[in-house]
Structure 1
Amino acid sequence: MIKFEEKFDNQMQIWNKIISDCIANSIATAVNTALKGELSSSELNDNVLKLNMDTINLNKLLHEVNTRLYKIEKSLSFSNGRQDLFDSRVKTVEQSISQYNGFKTQIQLLENKIHTMEQQARQCNVERANIPDRRGENLISIMECLGDAIKHPLQSSEIKAVHRVPHADKNDRRPKNVKVRKQDTARQCDCRYKRVKFHTIVHIPNSVHYDGTEADSPESICNLFSSFFHSVFQPTNVSHSFCIDHIDDIDNGMFNNTIISDIQLSEADVLKELKAFGQALITFPLFSLKILP
């Protein structure tokens, strides 16, 4: 009996120990599980908070992106408007350039005309220096005497104006230069010639024939004269048939080394020359014009 009780006690102790261990393990497992659940919940909460913050940041970034896109669209719209403006300006400039293409020829003509006027000014103006300045002097008489002295006679009728010109340097004590402006007889017809022969015609022609047209009045003759000048004196030098009644024989070989420039005859100029046809004439190919004195 004693052995059985001892065995039973021992067995109970063993079972008690096993049960205690099981309970302890169960409690530990339960506590661990509970702790793990709590930790998982806190992590989830933290993750949710992080996600919320990320969402807020994303919304801010999207708002900034939308703002920038709006500004880009606005800039593109402004650029398109500026491009349209530039296109219109370029078109205007191109149209202006197309209109100015003919200006090169006009500028060249103006330069030639200025050059001719400068040549005329040089030929009509004479400036002489170191002529003593005296009170009550007669500059015209002085110029006539100087012309005779240098073998270049100068008549008072050839002088249009004469005066002294002040020096650019006010401290210059030398006598003021004398500037003489001569009469520009060549300006009557705006022509320049040299080495040409001439014939004599004693009266105005009764009629003029040019390019199939006949003129018998001063006005119509003048118009034909102008047409003749503007057709003959071109760069191509194309001559037309032009004949005037009662003209002597014409020598076409007399025009070598002839200089002609700046042909501009108005109706009044031509009529004036026609009325003076009793004087000597310069003969052109199939045409005659009064020689200048």
Structure 2
Amino acid sequence: MLMYIPQVLLFHITYTDMPISQYFSYNRVAYSLIASKITLASHNASVWLGVSLTVYRFIQTRNRHHIPRATRNIQTVAVVSIALLISVASSLPNSLTNNFEEYTLANNETIYIINAPMLANSGSRNIVDTNVLLYAIVGKLLPCILMSMFVGALVHSLLKRSRQFSFASNKRSVMIGRTNKLLYAIVALFLITELPQGTLVLMCVFISGLYENVYIPLGDFFDAIALLNCVINFALYCIMSSKFRSTFKRLCLRYLYCKSPNRSPMDHVSLR
């Protein structure tokens, strides 16, 4: 998402004295195209990694027996690998539909414009429709459904376990209640961010003119709430999981220790 900052500086902060050939120069347009592809792929990856985190947490909650570390590592690698493969597969058609073309204006100035085929273009309708359907279903709607299902099952499992251990201390009940509230908040934010956009993209396939008149003007708004959701989700994960906090601190401290010029290469061993 950091690639949005140069994008905003290049195209949304305009300069009145800049020639149009410089504004739509090859380098600027090429960066915009590459940034959009990387941003889409990374956003899809973050969405499916969020789903994989929910699935992994549900698996851990359902299993009451001790799981060996090797088995946990295999489960983690499998879930994360599946999530990344799905995100890459769903982003691949987008790289085939968008490219930039060279145009010569009446004053002989040369500009470059990103050529994004519209839904009504019959010449590339199949690949465009495939791109839109994958983005709407695999990138938006399906993660919303899976996240809601697994979080609902996870909350149900936590409530069932708390009833089975009713003799437990009030502290345990308070922790379970707080975890449930945070899970509800994560799902609510995820649905608010992804579900309307996925529904609107899916409707664009069947309703003519909706993409140009509604979806494109709302593009910046959808990007803004997606960025906000990423920031809030990170804070919620830190609040919800002590292991997440400890792992994050350990990784950051290990990185800082390794980068410190006053540390020897073996100093980071004590952080394990």
TM-score w.r.t. length of structure 2 = 0.21
Radius of gyration: which is bigger?
A: 1
- From the two aligned structures, give the one with the greater strand fraction: 1
Structure ranking higher on relative contact order (CA contacts 8 Å, 6+ apart) = 2
- From the two aligned structures, give the one with the greater helix fraction: 2
